Amino acid sequence: MYTLLGIAMLYDLNRDRQPLWHCIAVTLIAGSIYGGVIELMQEYLFPPRTGDWLDLLADFAGLTLSLTALWLIPRSSTH
């Protein structure tokens, strides 16, 4: 799920012609915050569910996997 989220974020940032470092930073930071919020919600708002550090790590791994999509998305210099 987070791989697809990362690919969507990277595609959108690439479409706006953001610098490469910006695409990577926004994808990892925003995706990690989103994953952390989901884990906190599972822990405190949905009693049968529990938050887990390993789930958060898996979310981050999915985001980093999506970074390979940077080489698959064409980055042309024209708009």
Structure tokens belonging to residue 68: 């390979």
11-64: pLDDT as tens digits: 888 888 888 889 889 999 999 999 999 999 999 999 899 999 999 999 999 999
Question: What pLDDT score does 47 carry?
Answer: 87
Q: Is pLDDT of 79 > 60?
A: no
| pTM: predicted TM-score of the whole model, two decimal places | 0.80
3-state secondary structure of 11: helix
Question: What pLDDT score does 75 carry?
Answer: 58
Distance CA 40, CA 19 (A): 32
Contact status, residue 13 vs residue 27, Cβ threshold 8 Å:
yes
Structure tokens belonging to residue 24: 């990577």
Supply the DSSP symbol for 77. S
Which of the four pLDDT bands, split at 50, 70 and 90, describes residue 76?
Answer: low
